[in-house]
A and B are shown apart, each in its own frame.
Chain A
């Protein structure tokens, strides 16, 4: 007992010293970016490829002398897709003087929306959070900066129309993960069903989404739709590909929302041969054929290292680069507006709201973020599994933008 208690107290004392000594160690010279990430929680498959992309782009900017002469330091905190760690992460970013934050996980985005506004730090949430957050007047510090689920729904229907010719009298099935995010596109789809004259039927997949045999059988055996739109997360997209293929449904008439179209999903479904023809919506472009990706590879070569293996999952890696690039661009705009001095978080917000014509060699859509539109227009690309890889089948476009704007306006008038 004696020795035990003593050693225990010793450990406690050492930990306490280290924790408190380390707290203020960093000097406040560089620009601080906060990045929440999920490398270990429910969506670790996304985070493990997305976050290295973010870090690599920042490292690239730093290796070229920083943004307008200012170096960037990224603080990454893994929130495990849980809310309390996400709150703690934001407070930590704030304490260390972060001027911009990359958020991760829908519930965290929701829980922080109000706090970010009070603290006047902008948070980006591409692919997370509510579609209504695109409205910059209602949510001044929430920045989806990429196509929301509403815009994706519009894009999916537009793509179906292109494939099927006319949608009048056609049947479209919507297969979705049964959570709020899965249900979010429904108003858009129902509205479009009315105006385009197609029949829409919805099929909910309960969590955790690994078992959807009944729904797929219902779709392929009974409903026999002309087109299927899927909105699934985690491991469930790969299950849907496998099941649809097993029932003989042509995957070329299936389109997945942004979290159902990564290389990992295709591989988990049984490989590119199985998923041939599967269509995916992307808010950042896919593949390695971009100058910025080549630059990152060159940066690694210059350091005598081989590029990280995360680069091969180009869908998520490129999204990481996409987020980092927009963060840097917002800060660049803010610094330029201030004549070279380090900006405050409010000035960075203004910088983000003046992003226009920044495409990073095609990786980023031709978006225009304005004080009213924090989504930047809702641009997407469609990529299709073809011959062992993802191939671009439709370049940047906006699906039914007027309909989306109408719904945003209706949502704004409700509150």
Chain B
């Protein structure tokens, strides 16, 4: 990531496909691990940890969507609904059967994967905008079902409270403790995705995305891989929903509506389709930007406006600036923040001898 790579030659395919292309990359990873596991939780105020927590959850969900949209080329506007499937599955299991999180979390993911396969079935016959509408229908059907079936939603309010996750009597109940809980799953999700996309399955996904007929001709069962992509993507979404449920302490109908699906699409498009780093950057960007704009305005804006005017100015400006920055980034680099980062990196790779 941050290192020079001159003098490194790869002589085998496995070396070329390795998770760490350079020996030094391992040290970068260890350094990052030390920063996030030791330094950040000790040095940073709880408030900033709470923002990181939101980012971690968003990363899990966005990774799932990127596997489907970025790697396999199947559009989905039903991501929010898959999250709600995971959330309500886990909440019901946790409340009715009293199961711990390490059972409800995979259960929520698996249930979402199952529903995801069903909603993904139209992808076998249709593509592009048509598929977008089919998944939109999935979103609305799932929303309706949760709203209408008390056995799933737990009553008229369609919300189920769950206890904080705990492991061996240790409850993850403060932001600092939840930080480790969420960091753990975000890291697992990142590593799993990195490994997935360099495996046979991941390459099959890319082949389906690039040209599905060609993929079929070279021996990829595209039905299987399209549905597998939906299943994996929905699994991530389900886990993301479970994490939200435990983080908020409640599974609520209004947390997973259509707008959430759109937000996650925005994350992966801004970050970069078909890129793990891009997903992380996109999730961070979309979560952080409104907050940064607000803090920035609170400090700079007070030079120009009174406190009461500021409230209106911040809200309006934040929304406008958010939209403008998205457009700006996409014009500057249509392939997203990931490509922007690579441009910056390749510039410094030869710096100061750029010619």
- In the complex, the answer to whether B299 meets A183 with C-beta atoms within 8 Å is no
Q: Which of B249, B252, B294, B308 contacts A52 (CB 8 A)?
A: B308
Tell me, rounded to whole Å, the shortest Cβ–Cβ distance linking B5 to chain A.
19
CB <8 Å contact, A130 and B308? no
Q: Is A270 an interface residue (CB 8 A)?
A: no
Complex Cα spacing A410 to B122, Å? 45
Please tell me if the beta carbons of B174 and A39 are within 8 angstroms of each other in the complex: no
Tell which of A19, A37, A88, A180 touches B253, judged by Cβ atoms closer than 8 Å: A180
B353 sits at the interface (CB 8 A): no
A21 touching B318, Cβ below 8 Å = no
Q: Is the CB of A91 within 8 A of B295?
A: no
Cβ–Cβ < 8 Å partners of B253 in chain A? 107, 179-180
> Does chain B have a CB within 8 A of A356?
no
Question: Least Cβ distance of A359 to chain B in Å?
Answer: 26
User: In this assembly, does B128 line the interface, its C-beta being within 8 Å of a C-beta of chain A?
Assistant: no
| Interface locus among B6-14, B63-71, B157-165, B209-217 | B157-165
Interface centre among B161, B254, B314 (most CB of A within 10 A): B254
Q: Judging by beta carbons under 8 Å apart, are B299 and A22 in contact?
A: yes
Interface residue A69 (Cβ < 8 Å from any Cβ of B): no
Which residues in B have their C-beta under 8 angstroms from that of A180? 147, 153, 156-159, 253-254
Chain A residues 41-80 with CB under 8 Å of chain B are: 48, 51-52, 55-56, 59, 74, 76-78, 80
CB nearest neighbor in B for A109 = B252
Q: Which of B46, B312, B318 contacts A95 (CB 8 A)?
A: B46
In-complex Cβ contact of A87 among B50, B164, B315 (8 A): B50
- Tell me which residues from 62 to 112 in chain A have a Cβ below 8 Å from any Cβ of chain B: 74, 76-78, 80, 82-85, 87-88, 91-92, 94-95, 106-107, 110-112
* Contact A91-B250, Cβ < 8 Å, known A15-B292, A52-B308: no
Q: Chain A nearest CB: distance from B61 CB in Å?
A: 11
Residues on B lying within 8 angstroms of A by beta carbon are: 45-47, 50-51, 54, 58, 147, 153, 156-159, 161, 164, 173-175, 244, 247-250, 252-255, 259, 287, 290-292, 294-296, 298-300, 307-308, 311-312, 314-316, 318-319, 343-344, 347, 354
The 22 listed contacts between A and B (C-beta, < 8 Å) are A8-B344, A15-B292, A18-B300, A22-B299, A25-B299, A37-B315, A48-B312, A55-B308, A76-B311, A77-B294, A83-B244, A83-B248, A83-B254, A84-B287, A87-B50, A94-B47, A106-B254, A112-B248, A114-B249, A115-B249, A180-B147, A180-B254
- The chain A residues found within 8 Å of chain B, CB to CB, are 1-2, 5, 8-9, 15, 18-19, 21-23, 25, 37, 39-40, 48, 51-52, 55-56, 59, 74, 76-78, 80, 82-85, 87-88, 91-92, 94-95, 106-107, 110-115, 118, 130, 132, 178-180, 183-184, 186-187
Contacts A80-B319, A110-B250 given; 13 further ones with Cβ under 8 A?
Answer: A5-B347, A18-B300, A37-B315, A40-B318, A56-B308, A87-B247, A107-B252, A107-B253, A111-B248, A118-B173, A132-B157, A179-B254, A183-B156
